[in-house]
Amino acid sequence: MPKYLVIVESPAKAKTIKKFLGRNYEVIASNGHVRDLPKSTLGIDIENDFEPKYITIRGKGEVLAALRKAVKKADKVYLATDPDREGEAISWHLYYALKLENKNYSRITFNEITKTAVKDSIKHARDIDMNLVDAQQARRVLDRIVGYQISPILWAKIKRGLSAGRVQSVALRLICDREEEINLFIPQEYWSLEALLDVKGSKKPLEAKLIGNKEQKIEIHSEEEMKEILSYLKGKEFTVEGVKVTERLKKSPLPFTTSTLQQDASSKLNFAPQKTMRIAQQLYEGVNIKGQGTVGLITYLRTDSTRISVEADAAAKEYIKEAYGAEFVGAGTVAKKDDKKVQDAHEAIRPTYMTNSPASIKDELSRDQFRLYQLIWNRFMASRMAPAKYENTSVKIAAGDYRFNASASKIAFDGFLSVYNINNEKSEGNVMLKSIDEDTKLTLNDLEPKQHFTQPPAHYTEASLVKTLEEFGIGRPSTYAPTISTITARRYVVKEKKNLYVTELGEAVNNMMKKAFASIVDVNFTAMMEGLLDMVEEGKVHWKSVIENFYPDFEIAVKNAEKELEKIKIEDEVTDVICDECGRNMVVKYGPYGKFLACPGFPECRNTKPHFEKVGIPCPMCGGEVVLKKTKKGRKYYGCENNPECEFMSWQKPSTVKCEKCGSYMIEKGKKLVCSSKECGFVCSMPEDAKEKETSGESVSK
């Protein structure tokens, strides 16, 4: 019979840890939190010092019963939930739910799920850290008060189903403010001038850009100014005034934090933050690797630290030395010490075993797991490697009073770029510069003036929003993904080709929040609150003091909002689908599972229909519209709007192009068209006009 009981959050984590601990240990998962504030009420006694009222989460009865049974049999209980505020709070709730007051128990934490880390954590078992618990309680209570007292106002003044939050409302404001910046932006005209110069012995002309005159750099703001310069340069001799060769070092990148992982996964893999965190959680908890069993492949995924353990640093450098050579081993880039927002509770995100290279375990991982693991592994290895070296050549060219510059950049030593190329950097510029000196004769081939206009700020993407939230100190590593998911699910913003756009509903909510709850959506105020929560974690501030100082002004704002805010009506999107029961045009509504069509005559007419997205392609079988549908398990497929009368169905997007061999419809697979008939199998390239329409987001037709 096992003497020791270890309680973790997830079954996957339990399976991995069980392998390390042996027969004397029983490892059971709590499946996350077992107690929380009630959903139906505020759950906080405002009159009694903001005391939270926790209850057992619905559906956790069987889990708790199994845990209590295991606790009775065990000589000692180890609470091994995640090593952060949330994990500490789960352990604290388990302590009370399992009545461990008179039981031999300890709290253990580990930054990676490896045999060494898990066994070492048992040697360094401790009590529950109440500062961490209180920091989580303060955040939970603050968020509950804000959400439960503002959301009903939004329901009453705008529409049902809306929500507000301490972090989500600030994220929405950032997006709205950026949208306003873009709308108010006035483009400014400017010009550039490039000289194409022939060099004896070279087939390709030398490209040189105008940088200024003898005294200073200049900016060209109009066509008239450009014409004056072109007129002056007419007939002028171009001569080499100086050649300068310099070496530039590009430092290796820091290893991933939660924020930078989400940003890089978004830009390189096109993963949404929530997807990145879900897959990273799988890699952290353990994957079954042939010959190794279930292994945790990365360290803890919620961190804002770039610190690396001495052991991991040494192992990485040894690996680099053997795989690439001693000259590729670097000192390791160190983060600036002056960032007060970094908690440094954990290491950066890194592989647990350096020998588990992405290529060696590719067959054991799903496609998405492999791609994310490869990104993490490459970034960590790059962070331990030597800087890349560039040889920069700059040629200064005189033409009367004006000065031009021709430059080239060449990678002299790959360094970390051999495993992790941040911006697909490569040697670029004028390749013939090495052969040019001050005696080189230059002949003007052509002058190319170009008109430009300044561009507005870019729309936020999920990656850039995460970066901004982190820079302002809003939220913490665990909150970025759910914050973005919430404002998207509430339809405050929509995502189009990676960009986030504010909806009419989002603007209405943001305007109301700015008017009635200015402090809640104030970036600096929210960052200050995060700082106070950090001070609670450090034991410098009592958690209830944070709530006590916040609530009085907030309560006044809520009462004023209830009295003074006017109602705003958001019109539903009207479709051309006619209600079968009353003949009205149906409107788009949003439910827990996404869009659906409803009759605007509700409650007199309660007719609803599924909402299917049209893809702009006629059905190959009946000529009706092809629409995007989902199976009961959520898998997307293409079907006919006339189903069940028409039985057309395809997992791949159909094309209007017919097969040249058998006449069946073709389906799109990447840049190829494949015949839908299994007997035929004809393959051809997608027509050029179809590629262009695909790139622009239009439907393909022929």
Q: Return phi, psi of residue 229, to 5°.
A: -65, -45
Asked whether 108 and 80 are in contact (CB, 8 A), the reply is: yes
Tally of helices (H runs) and strands (E runs) in the chain: 17, 31
For residues 289 and 294, what is the distance between their CA atoms, to the nearest angstrom?
Answer: 6
Residue 581 per-residue DSSP state: T
Q: Name the residue with tokens 């599972």.
A: 593
The one catalytic residue in 4, 25, 284, 300 is 300
Segment 122-131 long-range contacts (CB within 8 Å, at least 24 positions apart) = 122/78, 125/78, 128/79, 128/88, 128/91, 128/92, 128/95, 129/88, 130/92, 131/536, 131/537, 131/538, 131/539
Give how far the C-alpha of residue 560 lies from the chain's centroid of Cα atoms, to the nearest Å: 37
Strand partners, 170: none
Provide the 10 A C-beta neighbour count for residue 543. Answer: 24
For residues 512 and 518, what is the distance between their CA atoms, to the nearest angstrom?
Answer: 9
Strand partners, 493: 502
Cα within 13 Å of Cα(533), Cβ side: 24
Question: DSSP characters for 31-97?
Answer: -S-SEE--SSS--EETTTTTEE--EEPTT-HHHHHHHHHHHHH-SEEEE---SSHHHHHHHHHHHHH
Active site residue 300: yes
For residues 80 and 65, what is the distance between their CA atoms, to the nearest angstrom?
Answer: 19
For residues 171 and 513, what is the distance between their CA atoms, to the nearest angstrom?
Answer: 12
Q: Which residues are catalytic?
A: 300
